[in-house]
Amino acid sequence: MKIKDILLVLEEMAPLAYAEDFDNVGLLVGDAEAESTGVLVCHDALETIIDEAISKNCNLVVCFHPILFSGIKKITGRNYVERAILKAIKNDIAIYAVHTALDNHSAGVNKIFCNALGLVNTKVLIPKQDFIQKLVTYTVPENAQKVRQAMFEAGAGTIGNYENCSFNSNGTGTYQGNEESNPVIGERHELTETEEIKIEVTFEKHLQSKILKALFASHLYEEVAYEIYTLQNSHQNIGLGMIGEFETEMEEKDFLHFVKDKMIADGIRHSAFLGKKIKKVAVLGGSGSFAIKNAIQAGADAFLTADLKYHQFYEAENRLLLADIGHFESERYTKNYIVDYLQKKILNFAIILAEENTNPVKYL
């Protein structure tokens, strides 16, 4: 199996188009055409992880955090990033990062976080904007089903828990071909009127080229009329953070002890107790201070995230319990999810969970 075949499975799990614009996801180091000897899954692709990959004969490291995040002009081994990259290159080891591509997935980082806590009735906290497009096209009735089905198979027409969604209306189309035309219905230079069906479907924007290819391949006409719009609708199933509920509410202190146990956190920093029960909880794995207001607006009793600064605890505004459980801790089960996913999709192949603990934060 080539590395590129494994990358296809990873992109099914976490489409790269879901990643934030600032991020650096996908294949960071290595040759996708190389034969893979095994996959090592980790949180951070440090030099020690590359050593582990070498010892376990894995030439593909799948990490959550991208080891290459901001631009570098030299690779001389002067810091931990450059040392890891150098060792990977010297040993023909590829590195692939998922990061916010999996953060934004409805089954990704924050759903994993919610599942670890036993939250139910979960939904995305900050739905992704400017990600839904609409395609409108026109064809004769006898061609409509073929066109619709082709676009559905390419990924169009999915809305939440529903598939094969479209809107269709009847009308009259007119056209007149020139000397170079070859009309399927009518003749050159002849004004033709024909009954047509207007087909409208929505889709995630990264599927545009695939859907257009399906449209052109299935359409009857020589020239295909179509329009594409970007919608202002937010995508309710893609986005950062998640909010859910406990089946049974609990006291604030009991809640934090529960979180500490479930997320294996060595310490939790939190805002002042408010003397109210915790039932509705917002989570955002990793650095999530930007979502405090979203958690408040969503009516959360508590918001769990990481990397909060001193003054950001004031932003709780005595409206919710704000807790920093640690960056690594809030994402700790992500690598387990990736391993499980790959093992289900790629049978009889070495998919290994790294043993090295890459959490750089220690506690007394």
Question: Which residues carry a binding-site annotation for a divalent metal cation?
Answer: 65, 103, 327, 331
How far apart CA 9 and CA 61 sit, in angstroms, is 14
List strand residue ranges (DSSP E) for the chain, in order: 26-29, 39-44, 60-65, 94-97, 120-128, 132-139, 167-175, 192-204, 226-230, 235-250, 269-270, 278-287, 302-306, 321-324, 351-353
CA atoms within 13 A on the CB side of 191: 1
Binding-site entries? 65, 103, 327, 331
Give the strands of the sheet with 278-287, arranged side by side: 120-128, 235-250, 278-287, 302-306, 321-324, 269-270
- For residue 128, the cross-strand partners are 235
- Looking at residue 263, the DSSP 8-state letter turns out to be T
Question: CB burial class (10 A; 0-12, 13-18, 19+) of residue 134?
Answer: middle
Q: Which of 138, 70, 337, 123 is nearest to 241 (CA)?
A: 123
How far apart CA 138 and CA 174 sit, in angstroms, is 11
How far apart CA 289 and CA 300 sit, in angstroms, is 15
* Residue type at 277 in one-letter notation: K
